[in-house]
Amino acid sequence: MQYRWLSHAFLVFGGAASSITAGSSCALDPVHDSSVKALGDEDGEFPPGPYHRAGQACTVCHGGQGPAKSTFFMAGTIFMSPGTRDEAGRVAQKAEIRIRDANNPMYYKCVRANCRGNFYVTSREFPSGITFPVKVSVSQGTQERVMNSLIGREPSCGACHKRPGFFDSPGQVYLYTSESEVPQTEEEECNPSTPEPERDCE
Ligand code: HEC
Ligand code: HEC
């Protein structure tokens, strides 16, 4: 398969590139506290773990300032279609996310989302951290979508990709532009005891 963006000339980055390393905890930050609170309680069906909080800005909590102990360089959720105001619709189970960072302009890392469309990357995928800006694309089978712009510093897809799309947001990350294009394949059962899939992909 040819990935469109791999053949793009990679932009040259002037100025400061920020790099994220696993942060230390920073308690007593009222802005951070209220961002965490704004995300609300766990939904009950999926306790804290790889399947929880689909669509949310994961690194609000997994960004080094807590409350999660595990920290992610980048994370998010891939959906099948843009969804509606009330419904996110199906998640893109086992979608592939390709990430190319400023350190390695010729190389991309592929990570696989789980059965809730959630993915995250850590030092396991990027042993020396991620250097922004970052280029991403998502795919499932032959369906691929490329984010044209570069991500300058925000580690969570969900921080920008909020549903419904509006002037302030491109909407949730999706693979098909409308519900009617989504292939009617059977969904894999997904519950908290489902083992996580192999996260590496090509
Ligand atoms: C409101 C805070 C919050 C948000 C938002 C959040 N998490 Fe978590 N998550 C936690 C906490 C707390 C835990 C408990 C384990 C820990 O401390 O790492 C956890 C656990 C996890 C774990 C298990 C880690 C381990 O080492 O056992 C994974 C994986 C995970 N979350 C993924 C995600 C993903 C992906 C997202 C976004 C779609 C997300 N989380 C959003 C708070 C959050
Ligand atoms: C800083 C804000 C921001 C972050 C963070 C961000 N995006 Fe985007 N994304 C955008 C904007 C704005 C667009 C629309 C313009 C474009 O394609 O560049 C977009 C477009 C996209 C598209 C193309 C949509 C289409 O219409 O085909 C995909 C796919 C995508 N993003 C995936 C992701 C993924 C996956 C992540 C997390 C790893 C992510 N984005 C993080 C702002 C962001």
- Share the mean pLDDT of the chain: 88
d(CA 82, CA 35): 24
Question: What was the pLDDT predicted at 151?
Answer: 98
The verdict on the CB of residue 53 being under 6 Å from ligand 1 is yes
CA angle, corner 7, sides to 16 and 201, nearest 5?
A: 85
pLDDT exceeds cutoff 60 at 85: yes
Residue range 27-47: mean pLDDT, rounded:
89
Higher-pLDDT residue of 20 and 182 is: 182
Residue range 154-168: mean pLDDT, rounded:
92
d(CA 73, CA 192): 23
Per-residue pLDDT tens over the stretch 65-76: 999 999 999 999
d(CA 202, CA 192): 26
Q: Are 34 and 45 in contact (CB under 8 A)?
A: no
Residue range 59-70: mean pLDDT, rounded:
96
Top mutation candidate among 173, 175, 176 for ligand 2, by most atoms within 8 Å of CB: 173
| Nearest-ligand number for the alpha carbon of 157 | 2
Question: How many A from CA of 86 to the centre of ligand 2?
Answer: 21
d(CA 194, CA 187): 13
Top mutation candidate among 79, 96, 161 for ligand 2, by most atoms within 8 Å of CB: 161
- pTM for the structure as a whole: 0.90
d(CA 184, CA 29): 46
**Comparing C-alpha atoms, which of 152, 136, 155, 133 is closest to residue 65?**
155
d(CA 37, CA 75): 19
Residue 185: C-alpha distances to residues 35, 92, 93, 182 (Å):
37, 11, 11, 9
pLDDT exceeds cutoff 80 at 25: no
The verdict on the CB of residue 70 being under 6 Å from ligand 1 is yes
| Nearest-ligand number for the alpha carbon of 67 | 1
